[in-house]
Amino acid sequence: MATETAARYCYRHPDRETGLSCSECGRPICYECMTPAPVGLRCPEHSGKPQGVKKVTSAAGRVASGQGSRSGYPVTIALIAINVGIYLLELASGGSQDGTGNKIWLHGALVARGSYLDGSPAGVANGEWWRLITSAFLHAGIFHLATNMLGLYWLGRVLEVLIGSWRYLLLYLASALSGAAGALWLSGPFDVTVGASGAIFGILGALLVLERKGAINTGGQIIALIVLNLLISFLPGISIGGHIGGFIGGAILMLLYLQFRRSNALAIASAVAVGVVSVIVAYAVI
């Protein structure tokens, strides 16, 4: 019978659950206490000492295996619930069986230029800026929703445990905006784009940065997932621009998080900056 492993908490901040460990002494440390080293992470006491032989414990492996408590990733659960709830509202609002063609879809999907049935202008270029973010919570069909939510569950909870809920939420939203900018950049002015995949690619970008910095060790699984999903991006009906844009936004923001990991204000400013630049890019390309 499987046994649960007790949740681990930062030795300097006992109220913070964490999946990170010092590669020198093995003590659990939170995101703000870690110092990236050539191999693994270090706690404040060992950040200036020679590197030991231990490598950082893989939080990704522990989360994937079900260890730790569900309270470690409440934002991921909430995002999944919001996406599913909006899809149910789409179905209840009429339109097609895939949740398209209803009022929520018509006013929330990402499109540069378009028009409503009465001939009035629609789209981001016509002042409907909210489509840059609302489109990330709309899906075209149950399969589209299910694949995105499965990816969000497996990847998002890992990142949330690693960097904390509020940083994770900001990264998710900023990646959604950069994904929208990428979709507008590579799509035609009348093409319609929806889905959480841009934000999920942002999570992939952030996890890749953490792996390259030695914070996690997935045995190459992150690279494999990125390559596989980029190949899938070239299939008909999938927004390659949205995926690339989201990935770039998430990776850049994760690099900024690492740079300013001990300053909450600068972390928030970094997320706002990535979001603002994404909006500027979106309007520059339409």
Residues labelled as active-site residues: 197, 243
Query: What's the pTM?
Result: 0.79
Mean pLDDT for the chain?
A: 85
Query: Cα(131)–Cα(80) distance, rounded to whole angstroms?
Result: 19
Summarize the confidence of residues 65-77 as an average pLDDT.
65
Summarize the confidence of residues 8-22 as an average pLDDT.
82
Query: Cα(123)–Cα(127) distance, rounded to whole angstroms?
Result: 7
Summarize the confidence of residues 161-182 as an average pLDDT.
96
Report the share of the chain in percent with pLDDT over 70.
87
Is the pLDDT at 65 greater than 70? The verdict is: no
In this predicted structure, what is the pLDDT of residue 39? 52
Summarize the confidence of residues 37-53 as an average pLDDT.
59
Q: Check residue 98 and report its DSSP letter.
A: T
Both tokens of residue 124? 């981001």
In this predicted structure, what is the pLDDT of residue 48? 58
In this predicted structure, what is the pLDDT of residue 197? 96
Is the pLDDT at 231 greater than 90? The verdict is: no
Is the pLDDT at 54 greater than 80? The verdict is: no
In this predicted structure, what is the pLDDT of residue 30? 83
Enumerate domains of the chain plus CATH numbers: 1-57 (no CATH), 70-285 (1.20.1540.10)
The answer to whether the beta carbons of residues 91 and 85 sit under 8 Å apart is no
Q: Which residue's entry shows tokens 């895939």?
A: 98
CA angle 278, 281, 282 (to 5 degrees): 85
Summarize the confidence of residues 19-46 as an average pLDDT.
76
In this predicted structure, what is the pLDDT of residue 262? 84
State the DSSP H helix or E strand holding residue 225, giving kind and residue range, or none if neither.
Answer: helix 221-232
State the DSSP H helix or E strand holding residue 210, giving kind and residue range, or none if neither.
Answer: helix 197-212
Other residues' Cβ atoms within 10 Å of the Cβ of residue 116: 10
67-71, 111-115, 282-286 — which is least confidently predicted?
A: 67-71
Both tokens of residue 57? 């414990």
In this predicted structure, what is the pLDDT of residue 43? 83
In this predicted structure, what is the pLDDT of residue 4? 45
Among positive and negative, which fits the CA dihedral 26, 30, 32, 33? negative
Summarize the confidence of residues 86-114 as an average pLDDT.
92
In this predicted structure, what is the pLDDT of residue 49? 44
Residue of higher predicted confidence among 227 and 111: 111
In this predicted structure, what is the pLDDT of residue 284? 96
CA angle 208, 10, 174 (to 5 degrees): 40
In this predicted structure, what is the pLDDT of residue 97? 82
Summarize the confidence of residues 181-193 as an average pLDDT.
93
